[in-house]
Amino acid sequence: MNIIACVKQVPDTEAQIKVKADGSGIEEGQIKWVMNPYDEFGVEEALKLKEKNGGDVTIVCVGPARAMETIRTALAMGADKGVHICDPAFDNADAFVTANALAAVIKPLPHDIIFCGQRAIDDDSGQVGSMLAEALGLPQLTLVTKLDFAGSSVKVIRPIEGAQLLIETALPCVVTCQKGLNEPRYASLPGIMKAKKKPVDVKNAAAVGTATDVKAKVAKTVPPPARPPGKIICGDEPAQKAAELGRLLREEAKAI
Amino acid sequence: MAKGVMIVAEQRDGALRKISLELASTARKLADQTGDEVSAILLGSGIEGLAAELGKYGVDKVFVGDNAAMEPYITEAHAAVVAKVVKENDPAILLLGASVQGKDLSSRVAAKLAAGLATDCTDVKLDGGNFVAIRPMYAGKCFGEIVFNSAPAIASLRPNVFPAAENAKAGAVVKVDAAVDAQKSKVLEVQKDTSGKVDLTEANVIVSGGRGMKGPEGYAILEELADVLKGTVGASRAAVDAGWRPQKDQVGQTGKVVSPNLYIACGISGAIQHLAGMSSSKCIVAINKDAEAPIFTKADYGVVDDLFKVVPELTAVCKKLVA
C-alpha cells in the first residue's frame, strides 16, 4: 500500500501570537514550532495502515528550511521517506498554491490514499486537502474521525452538525483528519536515530513547476478586536451573585 | 465582467439552514452597495419550494438544481453543479457558509474555479470596489484582511456572526440541470444525534466546563443550566483529554471555534488555546474560584466563587427569568 501524509509546521497551540507593527504578519522570534496537530493524526493513521497492510509512507511538506524538523519527526514516528518543497517563492503561499505544489509532487508517486490534517492551526483555512483532491481528480473525505480500510475502498465516519455520516469511497482518495481518529504515537529514540538516515528529497519551485502567484492574499494581519474590561460581580453569598449575574445578563447584556 | 453576489444556500432534510438566511442577508447588503443582483444556488431533491424563503431574505434569483443525485450531499457532485452555475453567471463574489458542508464544498469549488477563498470570515466588505474579507487566524489570536486575485472572490461566512434580516425580493426560480456522473463516494448511513442539542458551532448559548468540574458527574449542573437557556454544553481540552466529555464538545484551537450570544465558562482557567476558540462570543461569563484565572481577562462578567454553589443558583434565577 502506498500512503502519503502531508504535514505542515505551525506554532505550538500555547504560543502567544504577536502581530508585527506594520501588519505584515506575525513575530516569529519566540515561537516554538511543531507538527500541525491535525497532521499528526494523518501520519499516525498512515503508519497504522502500513503496519496492518504493508507498504510505505511518504511525507510531503511545503515549508521553509525549519520545516525539515517536522518531516524528521514524521520519519521518526515511522514514515519511510519525505519530500520537502522548500523555496522562498512559497513563503506566502495560499491554499491554492500549496495544494497545486503538493499535487505536482504526489501525482508521479504511487498513491492509494493521501492524508492531510483537516486544517492547519496557523491560518485555519482548512482548504488544502480538498484542493489537493480536486487537483488530483480524487474524491475527498473531510473531517474523518474513523477509518476502515477494505482493500479497494475505505469506510469512514464523518461528523456533521448534529449527525455522523458513514461514507464509503473507492481508492485512491484524500482523507482529512479530525481529532478522535487516533492517538498519535511519540517518536522513539531508535526511531529518531533511524530518521536521520531516511531519504528526504528537497525540491525548489522550479523542480515542482507549479505557479506561485496567490489567489487569496493576506493583505494585513491585525490583533483581535479588544474587548471592553469586564465586571466582577460582588456579593456575600453565591445566591446573591447568581441573582445579580442573572439580572445583568437579562437587562444589560440582553443575553437571556 | 464579473457582477453580482451569489450564495450557495444550504438545506438539510428539506429545510433551509439558518446560515442560508445569514448568507442571503449579507449578500443583499453587499449587492445594494453596488446596485447588483443577489442570486442563490439551491441544490437537493424536492426543494424548489425553499426558493421563496430565500426571496424573503433578499435573494432576487434562485438557481434550483432539483435532482435525486443531489441528495444526500456528496462533495464532488455538488461542486460540479456549483462550479458550472458560477461559470455561466460570472458573479463578482460567491458566499458559502463556514458550516461543515460549506467548508467542504467551498474549497473544492474554489479549486475548480482557480479562485481565491477566505474561510470562516467574520466580515466581508467592499473597499474601493474590491472585496475584503476579515477572518480570524491562529483560532482568533489575530485576524487577517484578505484580498482576492480572482473572479469570483469566494468567502465562507462563520455561522452565528452575520445577522439575518427579512428584505423581500422576487426569489425567482431558474431551474438548472443537476444531473451528474456516478460518484465514487456513497453515504451508507446517517447516524443522527438524538440528544436534541444544537451543535456547538450553531448554539446561541454555550455552558462550558473545564478541569474545575472535577469529573464527568460534575457536568450534570451544567446540563441543567444549558437546558434552561436552550443551550449546549461544551468543554475545555483538559476535560476532553481526561475523558470526561466527548471529542465533539471541545472548544478551542484544536476543537471547535464558537461564537454564541452567551458563553458561560465554568471551572475553566482559560489556557490560551481555549481562549482562542471562544473569544469571539458576544457575551462571556466566567465562574471560577481562582480570581487570577486568565479567563477573567476575556469575561464581560466574572464571578469569583465555587461554581458548584453558583451554577445551581444561576439555574434557578434563569428559570424564573425565562419563564
CATH assignment at residue B53: 3.40.50.620
Query: What is the Cα B35 distance to its own chain's centre?
Result: 27
- Is A217–B104 a contact, with Cβ atoms under 8 angstroms apart? no
Residues A49 and A140 in one domain: yes
pLDDT at B195 over 90: no
Segment B76-95, tens digit of pLDDT: 999 999 999 999 999 999 99
The partner residue sitting opposite B189, judged by closest CB among A166, A224, A243, is A166
Q: Does A85 reside within a domain?
A: yes
Structural domain of A254:
226-256
Q: Does A214 reside within a domain?
A: no
Residues B212 and B168 in one domain: no
Is B317 touching A (CB cutoff 8 A)?
yes
Residues B246 and B97 in one domain: no
The partner residue sitting opposite B247, judged by closest CB among A95, A180, A222, is A180
- Is A233–B303 a contact, with Cβ atoms under 8 angstroms apart? yes
Q: Band of the pLDDT at A79, cuts 50, 70, 90?
A: very high
pLDDT at A128 over 90: yes
Q: Does A219 reside within a domain?
A: no
pLDDT at B148: 98
Q: Does B23 reside within a domain?
A: yes
Residues B93 and B209 in one domain: no
Q: Does B68 reside within a domain?
A: yes
Residues A159 and A251 in one domain: no
Query: What is the Cα B249 distance to its own chain's centre?
Result: 15
Q: Does A217 reside within a domain?
A: no
Packing angle, helices A128-136 and A95-106, rounded to 10: 40
> What's the rounded Cα separation, in Å, for the pair A35 and A70?
5
- Is B148–A215 a contact, with Cβ atoms under 8 angstroms apart? yes
pLDDT at B197 over 90: no
Residues B290 and B167 in one domain: no
Q: Does A221 reside within a domain?
A: no
Residues A36 and A135 in one domain: yes
What is the ipTM for the molecules in this complex? 0.96
Counting residues of chain A whose pLDDT is more than 70, the rounded percentage is 100
Residues A232 and A114 in one domain: no
pLDDT at A225: 86
Q: Residue type at B13?
A: D
- Is B313–A214 a contact, with Cβ atoms under 8 angstroms apart? no
Residues A175 and A239 in one domain: no
Segment A218-233, tens digit of pLDDT: 999 999 988 888 999 9
Q: Does B121 reside within a domain?
A: yes
Q: Number of folded domains in chain B?
A: 2
Structural domain of B168:
5-175
> What's the rounded Cα separation, in Å, for the pair B138 and B177?
40
pLDDT at A149: 97
Q: Does B111 reside within a domain?
A: yes
pLDDT at B184: 96
pLDDT at B194: 85
Q: Number of folded domains in chain A?
A: 2
Give the position of cell 434569483: B61
The partner residue sitting opposite B107, judged by closest CB among A16, A131, A248, is A131
Q: How far apart, in Å, are the Cα atoms of A60 and each of A85, A192, A208?
A: 8, 18, 12
Question: Which CATH number covers residue B265?
Answer: 3.40.50.1220
pLDDT at B1 over 90: no
pLDDT at A67: 98
Residues B170 and B204 in one domain: no
Q: Does A215 reside within a domain?
A: no
Burial, B225: exposed, middle or buried (Cβ in 10 Å; 0-12, 13-18, 19+)? buried
Q: Does B180 reside within a domain?
A: no
Q: Does B189 reside within a domain?
A: no
Residues B161 and B259 in one domain: no
pLDDT at A249: 97
> What's the rounded Cα separation, in Å, for the pair B70 and A60?
34
Q: Does A213 reside within a domain?
A: no
- Is A133–B300 a contact, with Cβ atoms under 8 angstroms apart? no
Residues A170 and A251 in one domain: no
Question: Which CATH number covers residue A131?
Answer: 3.40.50.620
pLDDT at A64 over 90: yes
Residues B69 and B157 in one domain: yes
- Is B100–A37 a contact, with Cβ atoms under 8 angstroms apart? no
pLDDT at B234: 98
Residues A10 and A78 in one domain: yes
Residues B223 and B150 in one domain: no
How far off is chain B from A89, nearest CA to CA, in Å? 17
Can you tell me the mean pLDDT for A127-152? Answer: 97
How far off is chain A from B162, nearest CA to CA, in Å? 17
Q: Does A218 reside within a domain?
A: no
Q: Does B195 reside within a domain?
A: no
Residues A123 and A235 in one domain: no
- Where do the DSSP E strands lie in A86-209? 113-117, 140-144, 146-149, 153-160, 163-170, 173-177, 200-203
Segment A97-109, tens digit of pLDDT: 999 999 999 999 9
Nearest CA in chain B to A180: B247
pLDDT at A22: 96
pLDDT at B261: 96
Total beta-carbon pairs less than 8 A apart between chain A and chain B? 270
Collect all residues of chain B within an 8 Å Cβ-Cβ radius of residue A121.
138-139, 253-254
